[in-house]
Amino acid sequence: MLLNRNGIKMIWTRMLLNKSLVTRALLGALLLAGLSERISADTISLSPGDTLSSSVLNDLLEPIQAPIDYQDFLGAWQVSQYICLGGTISADLEGLCESDVELNEAVQPGGSHFERQDVWQIQLLDREDFPLIIQSQELNFLFNPVLSYIAPNDPITWQCDLSGGRFLTCIGPGNIQYGATNGCQHEECLIHVIMRVDRLTTNNLRLSLGPIDTRLTGGSANLLGLFNEVILRKDKILPTPRLVSAYSQDSGVDLEWTAAEDFSGFFNVFRKDELYGDFESLGVVSDQNFNDASVEPGKYWYRIYSESDGELSLGSNVRSVLVD
């Protein structure tokens, strides 16, 4: 196994190891590569009999390491907000993150922050300035901490631009403006927000602000007490199949897999016949089983993808079969 600053490059032969042991080893390597917070044990799904394949790892690592661009934002998202607006905490463990700002539909599950849920629709316009449009459904999760939290409980349309794949700068609607008394260096200013962007998984993004010294917003007792984290999860994600068996018999190689019960799309069966070769599609089926009658004596590797409207899911685990 080779490990460098740019990520992980792994060359594996077939390994039939305990799932927990392999998963821990992978997470340890990811920790050294600085990717452990983006890939969890739930993301790495292994079972006895699986072939630990570089194709599986590359599917996880390559999208996360790739630069974020406008296309990564497009579509419908389930959005979660984790927010603290400062405050102090009493000896009875009360008061932290409480403020004069009323956050509708917020819960405080652990006492250290508030959480809210909403749906965003994001589209890209054909223009140069702030082409990314974020439309919330019920609430507003973005704010400039220096200007206080404006319209937290109303749907807001933000016009945004992406800088270097790392920072999202958004400006609010024209009917929300402020003047020189609040620091505007022009006759009138639009409210603006700058958030850091991180890719957590192929279908998850994180926007984050802070922690910020609350003295910037008039506080004095609770330094580093303000933060706003917004997690975006794709509204519709194709399920990743689980290849449960692959075995050789007289009629060829029989494959069986499972997928989410509510999935109504198709499955694309992929195969390769060399360890360092590329997977190629054998065909698309609607059932959760397949017979590969085209095999000859040798070793083969199989992988299954969910497919809908030409889009493929993350690939399943890999199973290898030796045909006599």
**Per residue in 179-223, pLDDT tens?**
888 888 888 999 999 999 999 877 889 999 988 766 655 555 555
How far, in Å, CA of 151 to CA of 158, rounded? 12
% of the chain beyond a pLDDT of 90: 48
The answer, yes or no, to whether residue 81 has pLDDT greater than 50, is yes
Tokens of 155: 């749907």
> Who has greater pLDDT, 222 or 51?
51
How far, in Å, CA of 9 to CA of 87, rounded? 46
Query: What's the confidence (pLDDT) of residue 262?
Result: 85
Q: Are strands 75-85 and 114-124 parallel, antiparallel or unpaired?
A: antiparallel
Q: By the 8 A CB rule, do 301 and 271 touch?
A: yes
Range in 35-39, 45-49, 128-132, 220-224 with the lowest mean pLDDT:
35-39
CA torsion sign for 248, 254, 260, 261 is negative
* Furthest CA-CA distance within the chain: 82
Among 12-21, 98-107, 270-279, the range of highest mean pLDDT: 270-279
Query: What's the confidence (pLDDT) of residue 115?
Result: 95
How far, in Å, CA of 299 to CA of 322, rounded? 4
Query: What's the confidence (pLDDT) of residue 255?
Result: 97
Q: Which domains does the chain have, with CATH numbers?
A: 1-66 (no CATH), 70-234 (2.40.128), 238-324 (2.60.40.10)
Q: How far does CA 138 lie from the centroid of its chain?
A: 22
Count of residues making up the chain: 324
How far, in Å, CA of 88 to CA of 258, rounded? 50
Q: Which whole number is the average pLDDT over 251-260?
A: 94
How far, in Å, CA of 92 to CA of 149, rounded? 27
pTM (two decimals): 0.63
How far, in Å, CA of 3 to CA of 160, rounded? 36
The answer, yes or no, to whether residue 56 has pLDDT greater than 90, is no
How far, in Å, CA of 44 to CA of 50, rounded? 12
Q: Pseudo-torsion of CA 251, 256, 262, 267, nearest 10°?
A: -60
> Who has greater pLDDT, 278 or 100?
278
Q: CB atoms < 10 A from the CB of 39, how many?
A: 20
